[in-house]
Amino acid sequence: MDTIFALSSGAPPSGVAVIRLSGPQAGAVIETLTGGLPEPRVASLRSIRDRNGAIIDRGLVLWFPGPGSFTGEDCAEIHLHGGRAVIDRLLSVLSELEGLRIAEAGEFSRRAFANGKFDLTGAEGLADLIGAETESQRVLAMAQASGALRQLYESWQERLLHARAMIEAEIDFADEDDVPGSVSEQVWDDMERLAAEMRSHMAGAKRAAAVREGFRIVIIGPPNAGKSSLLNALAGSDVAIVSDEPGTTRDVLETRLSLSGQLVIITDTAGIRENAGAIEAEGIRRALARASEADLVLHLSETGRWDFVGDFGGVPVWRVLTKSDLGRTCREDDVLTISSKTEEGLKPLFDSLEKHLSETVGRDVSTLPTRQRHLDNLRLALRDIEAALSFRGDGLELRAESLRRAAFSLGRITGQHGVEDVLGVIFSEFCVGK
């Protein structure tokens, strides 16, 4: 087993840089560089020297003997000044040592997983935590990294295991008189409940995507409705070109912002009208395509007519009357009225968006399926449980077998089974040094 090392702190220059090592040579390397091993898990100030005894830097050295370390292997950290040349010198000294090599992306975490420090969902949570940009992303990632999904899926596996044990007992003792009519009847009630819990958990995938990838708001409307002006007002900067010429925006344009700690992606689009030229028509096609993938559509109009409103496959559409400073009003009560020029109505629009976000994405984002592979395996598991439930009356063996398969699918999510095909994908989400 190679001993791996990497710069685990951010890009230099920085005040302090952390170089992390893991593997059988970690202790020997610290002895070579600093003349001895410090007490485990206690930061000790040492001179760090190359093999000729020349000082590279002075810094803190930490020694984490396995198995009680992050990776489960012998680990060490060297905290030195975060200058580019200081870091480069230590990395080059390390790479010259026998049995050492620079770590691949995610390799420390991969070793930790291999040594049972966390399950696959925990590893994914850790990758999300490092990538988190908003408060809701952090909360979701922290929960997953702390084992929220693992606990949920393991508890479901235990219920499946218990159900199978009861069914098998019923099969084994079917001929004996003193066994009550159906031991397993209560088991099927629990399986009904489990299936319902799984369905409601899976329904949270859309919320998880909104948290992780952003809640997508798409602005549509006829040319000159004030779409780009609204985008700029929401973004607080001149992201999009605004002009009095209809057809100014030809392509989709995105801006990201954080609203109540939630990532929101707002897309400005080409004005929708009939008889558009070829380029504009393509812009309109893209606008409509984006709208149908949105979490919310803002349909703008300066005239108070919303002729082009399509049905975007159930995506909620809010109607917005623009340019209220020009004096036009609308008496319909589900219409928001704004002026990007005077900023009238923008605060109520923001407030409505925040309210909508908290109602649809929700405050409690701790236990949601965050990956397609979670959903794929949950679907398989649910299908098997539903199959077991639907054979009611016959074939107890078959029904028990379906429950076994369901538990197996859940085990694929946590990484108990069949991990080889997903390991590369999961750990490549990490940066080098984690």
Ligand X SMILES: Nc1nc2c(ncn2[C@@H]2O[C@H](COP(=O)(O)OP(=O)(O)OP(=O)(O)O)[C@@H](O)[C@H]2O)c(=O)[nH]1
Annotated ligand binding at 224? The verdict is: yes
Site for Mg ion in 123-162 (CB under 5 A): none
Measured from the CB of residue 287, what is the shortest distance to Mg ion in angstroms?
A: 10
Q: Which amino acid is at 392?
A: R
Measured from the CB of residue 286, what is the shortest distance to ligand X in angstroms?
A: 13
Site for K ion in 223-252 (CB under 5 A): 224, 248
- For the purposes of burial, counting CB atoms within 10 Å of the CB of 239, is it exposed (0-12), middle (13-18) or buried (19 or more)? middle
Instruction: Figure out which of the listed residues 178, 313, 326, 421 binds ligand X, where binding follows CB under 6 A.
Output: 326
Q: Considering the complex, state which of residue 320 and residue 426 has its C-beta at the smaller distance from Mg ion.
A: 320
Instruction: Figure out which of the listed residues 3, 69, 121, 249 binds Mg ion, where binding follows CB under 5 A.
Output: 249
**Which one of Mg ion, ligand X, K ion, none interacts with residue 7, CB within 5 to 8 A by kind?**
none
Q: How far is the C-alpha of 304 from the C-alpha of 321, rounded, in Å?
A: 6
Q: Which DSSP helix (H) or strand (E) runs through 189?
A: helix 185-202
Measured from the CB of residue 336, what is the shortest distance to ligand X in angstroms?
A: 13
**Segment lying near Mg ion (by CB under 5 A), choices 8-16, 91-99, 160-168, 241-249:** 241-249
3 touching K ion, by CB under 5 A = no
Q: How far is the C-alpha of 84 from the C-alpha of 81, rounded, in Å?
A: 9
339 Rama class: left (phi>0) / alpha (psi -120 to 50) / beta:
beta
Length of the chain: 434
* Residue 263 φ then ψ, to 5°: -70, 125
Annotated ligand binding at 255? The verdict is: no
**Segment lying near Mg ion (by CB under 5 A), choices 115-123, 205-213, 223-231, 318-326:** 223-231
Measured from the CB of residue 353, what is the shortest distance to ligand X in angstroms?
A: 18
Site for ligand X in 222-281 (CB under 6 A): 223-229, 242-244, 246-249, 271
Measured from the CB of residue 240, what is the shortest distance to ligand X in angstroms?
A: 7
Q: Considering the complex, state which of residue 188 and residue 308 has its C-beta at the smaller distance from Mg ion.
A: 308
Annotated ligand binding at 270? The verdict is: yes
**Which one of K ion, ligand X, Mg ion, none interacts with residue 225, CB within 5 to 8 A by kind?**
ligand X
Annotated ligand binding at 271? The verdict is: yes
Instruction: Figure out which of the listed residues 339, 370, 402, 414 binds ligand X, where binding follows CB under 6 A.
Output: 339
Q: Compute the C-alpha angle 111/117/122, nearest 5°.
A: 95
- For residue 223, whether the previous peptide bond is cis, meaning omega lies within 30 degrees of 0, is no
Q: Compute the C-alpha angle 128/232/303, nearest 5°.
A: 125
Beta strands across the sheet bearing 55-64? 44-49, 55-64, 75-82, 14-22, 3-7, 100-102
Annotated ligand binding at 245? The verdict is: yes
Q: How far is the C-alpha of 26 from the C-alpha of 63, rounded, in Å?
A: 8
Going by the DSSP 8-state scheme, the letter that residue 83 receives in this structure is -
Q: Considering the complex, state which of residue 146 and residue 248 has its C-beta at the smaller distance from Mg ion.
A: 248
Q: Considering the complex, state which of residue 49 and residue 273 has its C-beta at the smaller distance from K ion.
A: 273
Q: What is the CA radius of gyration of the chain?
A: 29
Q: How far is the C-alpha of 231 from the C-alpha of 207, rounded, in Å?
A: 24
Judged by CB under 6 A, how many residues of this single chain contact ligand X?
Answer: 22
What Cα–Cα distance (Å) separates residue 39 from each residue in 57, 64, 65, 382? 20, 9, 10, 51
> Strand pairing of 14-22 and 3-7?
antiparallel
Annotated ligand binding at 244? The verdict is: yes
Instruction: Figure out which of the listed residues 228, 267, 339, 377 binds Mg ion, where binding follows CB under 5 A.
Output: 228
> Around Cβ 319, how many Cβ atoms within 10 Å?
19
Q: Which DSSP helix (H) or strand (E) runs through 107?
A: helix 107-114
The residue ranges that bind Mg ion (CB under 5 A) are 227-228, 248-249
The residue ranges that bind ligand X (CB under 6 A) are 223-229, 242-244, 246-249, 271, 322-323, 325-326, 339-341
Residues within the annotated binding site?
A: 20, 77, 117, 224-229, 243-249, 268-271, 434
The residue ranges that bind K ion (CB under 5 A) are 224, 248
Residues within the annotated binding site for GTP?
A: 224-229, 243-249, 268-271
Residues within the annotated binding site for (6S)-5-formyl-5,6,7,8-tetrahydrofolate?
A: 20, 77, 117, 434
